Amino acid sequence: MTAALEMVDVSKTFPLARRLTHPGRREVHAVSHVDLTLHRGKITAVIGESGSGKSTIARLMAQLYKPTSGQIKLDGKPVEVRNGRQLRKYVGDVQLILQDPFGSFNPVHTIEYALRRAVTIHHGKLPASELDARVGALLEEVRLTPPRQFTAKYPHELSGGQRQRISIARALAASPTVLLADEPVSMLDVSIRLGVLNLLERLVTERDLALLYITHDIASARYFASTASVMYAGELVEGGPAEAVTQKPAHPYTKLLIDSAPDPGKAPADRIKDNGQPPSLISPPTGCRFHPRCPFAMPRCSTEAPPRFDLGAGQWARCWLHSSSKE
């Protein structure tokens, strides 16, 4: 199976302004040495707490940021976006869906205007009848029917769920092969999240899309994704089939994430205890970045960063507890 979009050993640091109190050069290590692959027809989840670097991954994949080091490949070829024309071609293939679609719609224009514009940007000027047909088909595809009930509306006249469907329709207007969904349902009412996730799942199958699903909700990743990676402090610490990662977690941090998700059926005594906070990304902990919080930390954990240990059946973890497994 060839990769649709791939990150190979990608890191991204953001420089910080020098201060009198910190005259040296300082930077935020937002994403460090990330390898991540998206496949056509598959949903790949990246799970992590706020501030762990998830949106930076989406923005790197969308070419909104340049990697500090490492490489991004589309259909096996290294991506080089140096000018506007190359960027337009790239966003025809790779589309980003944000958590809050409201911010990305111009409030003075109707839905029809926004969708016509998206179609025209990616497919050139079309006869009015064909443009209308395409806009109608997009609205039907995201189940906003009948389309004419929505075309004349303004973004503020729609519910959050409807707005997110419009932003999905706008992304589809480009006929992309890859969709990057950065916490696409976390701002929506719980009651409508499932509908939007089911829509994305159907589009992945029908259009054979590669979908990156970014979330802080590990339970939704299990339900929704085929493969999942867990992110901590800018690094991927575990990955594999979503079922294995969420049901048989191998990294203590993944266990902690699962234990801190609300589960009324579980006694508090069974849970990993943790009062810790994610570390500073300006001077991340040495060795394994999770070691200051880890209940199983050993001496080497604070000095040596663990490699990926292969646990079989596609699952892997960066944790010295698995050092008897294959590197």
Q: Given the rule CB under 6 A, which residues bind ligand ADP?
A: 14, 28, 30, 48, 50-56, 281
* Between 51 and 195, CB nearer to ligand ADP: 51
Least separation in angstroms between residue 101's CB and Mg ion is: 15
Q: How many residues bind to Mg ion according to rule CB under 5 A?
A: 2
Residue 232 main-chain phi, psi, to 5 deg: -135, 125
First to last CA, the chain: 23
Query: Taking the complex as a whole, how short is the minimal distance between the CB of residue 52 and Mg ion, in angstroms?
Result: 9
Smaller CB separation from Mg ion, 215 or 246: 215
Angle at 139 (CA atoms; ends 161, 184), nearest 5 degrees: 35
Q: Which is nearer to Mg ion, 98 or 294 (CB)?
A: 98
* Partner from Mg ion, ligand ADP, none binding residue 28, C-beta < 5-8 Å depending on class: ligand ADP
- Least gap, CB of 50 to ligand ADP (angstroms): 4
Closest CB 30 distance from ligand ADP, rounded Å? 3
Give the whole-angstrom CA distance, residue 162 versus residue 101.
10
- Which of the choices ligand ADP, Mg ion, none does residue 53 contact, using the CB cut-off of 5 to 8 A by kind? ligand ADP
Nearer to ligand ADP, 54 or 222 (CB): 54
Q: How far apart are CB 58 and Mg ion at their closest, in Å?
A: 8
| DSSP β-bridge partners for residue 39 | 3
Contact 53, 230 (CB under 8 A): no
By the rule CB under 5 A, 220 interacts with Mg ion: no
Give 31 or 317: the residue with its C-beta nearer to Mg ion. 31
Smallest distance, ligand ADP to C-beta of residue 132, A: 37
Q: What value does the CA radius of gyration of the chain take, rounded to a whole number of Å?
A: 21
Tokens 């191998």, residue? 250
220 to 122, 191, 215, 238, 269: CA distances (angstroms): 32, 14, 8, 17, 24
CA distances from 128 to 37, 135, 149, 153, 316 (A): 39, 11, 19, 19, 52
- What tokens were used for 276? 């810790």
Query: Which option in Mg ion, ligand ADP, none does residue 236 bind, with CB closer than 5 to 8 A by kind?
Result: none
Q: Which of residues 286-325 bind Mg ion (CB under 5 A)?
A: none
* Bridge partner residues of 31 (DSSP): 12
**How far apart are CB 94 and ligand ADP at their closest, in Å?**
17
Give phi and psi for 66, each to the nearest 5: -90, 140
14 binds, among Mg ion, ligand ADP, none (CB under 5 to 8 A by kind): ligand ADP
- State which residue, 26 or 216, has the beta carbon closest to Mg ion: 216
Q: Looking at beta carbons only, is 195 or 292 nearer to ligand ADP?
A: 292
> Smallest Cα–Cα separation from 11: which of 234, 213, 309, 228?
234
Question: Following DSSP, what letter does each residue of 81-100 receive, concatenated?
Answer: --SHHHHHHHHHHEEEE-S-
Segment near Mg ion (CB under 5 A), from 48-56, 61-69, 156-164, 170-178?
A: 48-56
* Residue 52 touches Mg ion, criterion: CB under 5 A: no
Residues 83-102 that bind Mg ion (CB under 5 A): none
Position 55 contacts Mg ion (CB under 5 A): yes
Rounded distance between C-alpha atoms, residue 92 and residue 75, angstroms: 14
Q: Name which of 21 and 50 has its Cβ closer to ligand ADP.
A: 50
3-class DSSP state for residue 153? coil
Q: Render the burial of 137-149: b for 16+ CB within 10 Å, e for the rest.
A: ebbebbebeebee
- Which residues of the chain form contacts with Mg ion (CB under 5 A)? 54-55
